[in-house]
Structure 1
Amino acid sequence: MCISRFVTGIGMGITAVVTMVYLTEIADKDIRGSLGMLVQVMNNMGSLAVYSIGPFVSYNGLNALLVSLSIIYATMCLWIPESPYYHLKDGRPAAAKKSFMFLKGTKNEKWATEQLTAMRLHVQESMENKTTVKELLTNMRYRKTLYLIAGLKVLQYMTGMCAIQAYLEIIFRQGSSLSGPYASIVYGFVQLGAGIGATFIIDHFGRRLLMLISSTGVALSLTTVGIYFYLQDAYQLNPERLASLSAVPLVGVLSYIILYSIGLGNLPYLLQAELFPINVKTVASSIATMLACILNFVVTKSYQGIKDVFGHYTVFWAFASIAYFGIFFIYYFVPETKGKTLEEVQDEINDEVVELEELNKEYKSGS
């Protein structure tokens, strides 16, 4: 079981990095956000399938179903073309043009050549720098983006989604009449619906606004659930009054799921693929995913211990405090990438870096 979980974790980590990088590189700027959110929708569909089927079939039967889906997916990957950016990075302009025209569904070679010329210039500029972890961590050019993505990962995972998902039935059993496998099924349907809804609105409202709404809603939902458990555990409200509030944890957790899914659930993955240049994008995405795994482990592992020592409400208020911090973090630091090509995003970041370097030089010369 441990070996199986370890191998599965490696596979999921690779998929999480490669899928989002690939989608951001092949998608038009007008649909890049929606395609990125589809990754979350597919994750939600998988979770719902396991929640709905798992309790009612044998363990071997469930795993046979999952293995068959993986085999089908791996087979379909044989027909997926490489990203034009990948070909350009390795100096294959003809292959990049062929891939670009196929992905865009066009036969207009003149237009394809014009688009690839702009892409090639940015790729060449990026590839003048190294592609190593040392380059990523020491070059000031990537410093702001590193801090930004690290902050988003903290916000994404330390607001408690993985822990709440792991302890969902216990939470509902303690604070609601809905329990057992039906709690997970309801959770799965709500999460899937929220993810589908997000794909239709992300390219209209943009990343920043959705993440602000998401972080605010998550903070308020977690605070509300925490208040309920405070009244139950610390204040020890009498059972009759508490019974009248039994819907609060259910509504609070479901609201949390909806608001988390429209922003914090997937947009940090999309932004990390959009903000890093081609030379360090894979390395940066891999490091970000490793950070996410560490945060996931820490939050899920510490949930029960904090709950036992300090009370259930403390866990939810701790998650809420991270979300409140996220509101200010997003407002002041997260850029808007909606409606911009990857080249335009990199141009804006480079302009900021140049301005910062000039300010540093002026400061040093003045001192």
Structure 2
Amino acid sequence: QRAVTSANKRAAIRFQELNQKKFRMPLILGIGLLVLQQLSGINAILFYASSIFKAAGITNSDLATSGLGGIQVLATLVTTWLLDRAGRRILLIISSAGMTISLLAVAVIFFIKDTVSQDSHMYYILSMVSLLAIVAYVIAFSFGMGAIPWVIMSEILPVSIKSLAGSFATLANWLTSFGITMTANLLLSWSAGGTFVSYMLVSAFTLVFVILWVPETKGRTLEEIQWSFR
């Protein structure tokens, strides 16, 4: 009984520590980036890529989906090479800006393709552009928002709260991913264009979020990063 009480007290102390003002901004940034990562719809788009490509008029949707996975791997490898050369913040800005533009393009195409005859040359062009836009979105995501939020979280969280805060951030990421994946089919059935608009708005907000609040962590000590939050 005494051991349980002691463990509960330690847990309470750790939770109280998370609530300290000096940790508030690192927590908001760490958890915020990981939630925004999933709210941008990446897992929904990858999970339903074949259906999305079919809806866009791509005949060989399975091949396009397989290619999408390969492109994501290559883009992620490039990002790991760029990470310590270009810096985290600039890659996040480029990534979220690219995602926003790509998602906007896909949304517009889905809104106008229903007004175009499927036998027309314009329909074929729209299908190809939508394919390119989705590929561009995946590349843009892999270029920054895929891996860098995890890197930044590990760099901005103080050692004293890193394990607990990291667990919270990971849980938030997984729950958001689950929610997005579970609702994607319903949203796509409602309106494919509207679904991509919602993901685009999240990506646009992410861009603003990064520009206004996310510090550059490349080559900086934890003390220097913490000082930037004061």
Same-fold status (TM-score > 0.5)? yes
**Equivalent position to 1:169, from 50, 55, 73:** 50
Partner of 1:237: 116
Letter in 2 for 1:207: R
* 1:178 correspondence with 2:60: yes
- In 2, the alpha carbon distance for the partners of 1:351 and 1:242 equals 51
* 1:206 correspondence with 2:87: yes
* 1:328 correspondence with 2:192: no
- In 2, the alpha carbon distance for the partners of 1:352 and 1:209 equals 19
- In 2, the alpha carbon distance for the partners of 1:350 and 1:244 equals 51
User: Which residues in structure 2 correspond to 1:51-62 (within 5 Å)?
Assistant: none
The C-alpha deviation readout for 1:289-328, integer Å capped at 9, x for no partner, is 000011111111111212222x100011100001111111
Gaps of 5+ in 1: 1-129, 354-367
- In 2, the alpha carbon distance for the partners of 1:177 and 1:265 equals 28
The C-alpha deviation readout for 1:269-297, integer Å capped at 9, x for no partner, is 11111111111101111100000011111
Q: Measure how far apart 1:195 and its partner are.
A: 0.9
The C-alpha deviation readout for 1:73-100, integer Å capped at 9, x for no partner, is xxxxxxxxxxxxxxxxxxxxxxxxxxxx
Partner of 2:74: 193
Letter in 2 for 1:198: T
Contact 2:215/2:228 (8 A) holds in 1: no
Q: Measure how far apart 1:207 and its partner are.
A: 0.5
SS in 1 for 2:184: helix
Contact 1:131/1:280 (8 A) holds in 2: no
Partner of 2:129: 248
Q: Measure how far apart 1:134 and its partner are.
A: 3.0
After TM superposition, the structure 1 stretch with the greater mean CA deviation from structure 2, 317-326 or 149-158, is 149-158
- In 1, the alpha carbon distance for the partners of 2:127 and 2:189 equals 21
How many residue pairs are counted as aligned between the two chains? 216
- In 2, the alpha carbon distance for the partners of 1:334 and 1:151 equals 10
Partner of 1:301: 182
The C-alpha deviation readout for 1:54-79, integer Å capped at 9, x for no partner, is xxxxxxxxxxxxxxxxxxxxxxxxxx
CA RMSD of aligned residues (A): 1.6
After TM superposition, the structure 1 stretch with the greater mean CA deviation from structure 2, 145-154 or 218-227, is 145-154
* 1:157 correspondence with 2:34: no
Letter in 2 for 1:162: N
Q: Measure how far apart 1:350 and its partner are.
A: 4.2
Q: Measure how far apart 1:131 and its partner are.
A: 7.0
SS in 2 for 1:339: coil
* 1:148 correspondence with 2:29: yes
- In 2, the alpha carbon distance for the partners of 1:140 and 1:215 equals 28
Partner of 2:199: 319
Question: Are the structure 2 counterparts of residues 198 and 153 from structure 1 closer, same or farther at C-alpha, using a change threshold of 3 Å?
Answer: same
Partner of 2:3: none
Q: Measure how far apart 1:352 and its partner are.
A: 3.8
Q: Measure how far apart 1:351 and its partner are.
A: 6.3
Letter in 1 for 2:217: T
Q: Measure how far apart 1:194 and its partner are.
A: 0.4
Letter in 1 for 2:17: E
The C-alpha deviation readout for 1:126-162, integer Å capped at 9, x for no partner, is xxxx9723321x2111101111123212321111001
Partner of 1:76: none
SS in 2 for 1:132: helix
- In 1, the alpha carbon distance for the partners of 2:149 and 2:215 equals 12
- In 1, the alpha carbon distance for the partners of 2:210 and 2:45 equals 23
* 1:349 correspondence with 2:226: yes
Question: Are the structure 2 counterparts of residues 251 and 131 from structure 1 closer, same or farther at C-alpha, using a change threshold of 3 Å?
Answer: farther
Instruction: Report the TM-score when normalising by structure 1.
Output: 0.56
Letter in 2 for 1:213: I
Question: Are the structure 2 counterparts of residues 221 and 352 from structure 1 closer, same or farther at C-alpha, using a change threshold of 3 Å?
Answer: closer
SS in 1 for 2:160: coil
SS in 1 for 2:145: coil
Question: Are the structure 2 counterparts of residues 351 and 258 from structure 1 closer, same or farther at C-alpha, using a change threshold of 3 Å?
Answer: closer
User: Which residues in structure 2 correspond to 1:218-237 (within 5 Å)?
Assistant: 218-233=99-114, 236-237=115-116
